[in-house]
């Protein structure tokens, strides 16, 4: 008799199980793990990719959850990393019709000995990686921190961000589950710190109370204050985060302000002039082809126009920009993220707008 589909029978791809013969791994050097050599992705057939996609979708549906990369998966952008201790991490890029206009959303799903372990994703923009995850309840409190370190290892070595960010919602703001689980301390113990000095000082004092035994549990009101600010983990300690940080919300606000002032709020006119200017600067001859590219080209064009344009760029920088736009349209979002991170001139202009 065929097995009914369930969270126990719909699993990851077959692998040799890992047996825990010693205590759970809770103490480790985070930076060492992030820098540890990452094996090449496991070769996957189309059937393997379909099985993974079906399993991931089923697991999320069973929890009444959905992620964009899980629903709108690009089968050319699925990668499986087989790591230590029976851990599989699957990265998922989105198909071209659902991608974000400028940044990139690369989701993940993890299996432990083929059993669903965690899901989430990372939003990548240049040196910034906003990361979020949800570990299945049965695995919480076990090797959760070790798993998160492995997850950052995968994203760091694949996309080379300078730092990871946990947004306020992820750590509990407006998120009762995050408050109840004490998510703030999960990130704090890994080395994440609030971006503003006042929040860092407040968290340090509260952590001292917990460590000294003066307090057994952080009160809800205290946690709600702690999670007001985003938390950051710098991979390179020499990086000055305030000088490299991107804020997509501020980027969007700056573009909106530009359209309001320059074009009296006429979005269509702003798009037409921005695209026309960009085509001229890129020396585009085939207008129809250029306009058929991903809608992201409109956002990039307006962003560049608002930041002063690319007139002073070299021919190589302009050629790489066109290659970047085409990758967003016809390639994979993973490759786009890597190419965007390498285009320093474009990142400088985008960063100028995100201040």
The pLDDT profile of the chain, 355 residues, written as one tens digit per residue, is: 346 677 677 889 998 999 999 889 888 999 999 999 999 999 999 999 999 999 999 999 988 889 999 999 999 999 999 999 999 999 999 999 899 989 999 999 999 999 999 999 999 998 889 999 999 888 888 899 999 999 999 999 999 998 899 988 889 898 888 898 888 998 999 999 988 888 899 999 999 988 888 888 888 999 999 999 889 998 876 665 655 567 788 888 989 999 999 999 999 999 999 999 999 999 998 888 888 887 678 888 999 998 888 999 999 999 999 999 999 999 999 999 999 999 999 998 888 887 7
pTM for this entry: 0.92
Concatenate the DSSP letters of all residues of 270-291 into one string. Answer: HHHHHHHHHHHHTT---HHHHH
The backbone torsions φ and ψ at residue 226, rounded to the nearest 5 degrees and listed phi first, read -65, -35
Q: 219-233: string of b/e by CB count within 10 Å (b at 16+)?
A: eeebbeebbebbbbb
pLDDT at position 269, please?
A: 94
- Give me 205's structure tokens: 């004092």
pLDDT at position 8, please?
A: 72
pLDDT at position 4, please?
A: 67
pLDDT at position 1, please?
A: 39
pLDDT at position 26, please?
A: 86
Listed as own residue / partner, the contacts of 343-349 with beta carbons closer than 8 Å and 24 or more positions apart are 343/317, 345/310, 345/313, 345/317, 346/304, 346/317, 346/321, 347/126, 347/127, 349/303, 349/304, 349/307, 349/308, 349/310
pLDDT at position 241, please?
A: 60
The backbone torsions φ and ψ at residue 322, rounded to the nearest 5 degrees and listed phi first, read -65, -40
β-sheet bridge partners, residue 89 = 81, 110
Concatenate the DSSP letters of all residues of 103-116 into one string. Answer: SEEEEEEEEETTEE
pLDDT at position 251, please?
A: 85
| Domains present along the chain, CATH in parentheses | 30-34+46-240 (3.40.630.30), 248-353 (no CATH)
Angle between the N-to-C axes of helices 248-263 and 296-306, in degrees from 0 to 180, rounded to the nearest 10 = 70
The backbone torsions φ and ψ at residue 166, rounded to the nearest 5 degrees and listed phi first, read -105, 115
Question: Within 10 A of 349 (CB to CB), how many other CB atoms are there?
Answer: 20
Element (H, E) at 135: strand 128-135
């Amino acid at each position: 008799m065929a097995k009914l589909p369930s969270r126990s029978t719909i699993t990851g791809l077959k692998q040799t199980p890992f047996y825990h013969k010693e205590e759970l791994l809770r103490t480790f050097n985070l930076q060492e793990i992030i820098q540890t050599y990452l094996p090449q992705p496991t070769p996957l057939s189309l059937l393997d990719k379909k099985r993974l996609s079906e399993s991931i979708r089923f697991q999320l549906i069973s929890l009444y959850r959905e992620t964009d990369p899980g629903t709108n998966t690009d089968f050319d952008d699925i990668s499986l990393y087989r790591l230590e201790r029976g851990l599989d991490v699957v990265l998922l890029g989105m198909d071209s019709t659902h991608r974000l206009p400028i940044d990139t959303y690369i989701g993940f799903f993890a299996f432990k000995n083929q059993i669903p372990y965690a899901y989430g994703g990372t939003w990548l923009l240049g040196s910034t990686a906003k990361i979020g995850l949800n570990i299945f309840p049965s695995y919480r409190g076990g090797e959760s921190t070790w798993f998160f370190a492995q997850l950052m290892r995968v994203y760091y070595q694949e996309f080379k961000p300078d730092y990871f960010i946990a947004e306020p919602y992820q750590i509990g703001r407006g998120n009762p589950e995050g408050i109840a689980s004490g998510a703030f301390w999960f990130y704090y113990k890994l080395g994440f710190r609030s971006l503003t000095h006042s929040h860092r000082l407040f968290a340090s004092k509260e952590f001292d109370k917990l460590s000294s035994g003066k307090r057994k549990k952080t009160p809800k009101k205290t946690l709600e204050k702690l999670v007001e600010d985003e938390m950051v983990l710098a991979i390179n300690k020499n990086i000055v985060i305030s000088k490299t940080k991107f804020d997509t919300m501020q980027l969007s606000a700056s573009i909106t302000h530009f359209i309001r002032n320059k074009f009296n709020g006429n979005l269509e006119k702003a798009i037409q002039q921005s695209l026309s200017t960009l085509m001229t600067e890129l020396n585009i001859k085939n207008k129809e082809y250029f306009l058929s590219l991903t809608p992201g080209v409109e956002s990039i064009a307006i962003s560049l126009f608002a930041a002063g344009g690319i007139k002073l760029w070299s021919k190589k920088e302009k050629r790489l920009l066109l290659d970047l736009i085409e990758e967003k349209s016809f390639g994979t979002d993973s490759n786009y993220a890597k190419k965007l991170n390498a285009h320093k001139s474009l990142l400088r202009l985008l960063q100028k707008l995100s201040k």
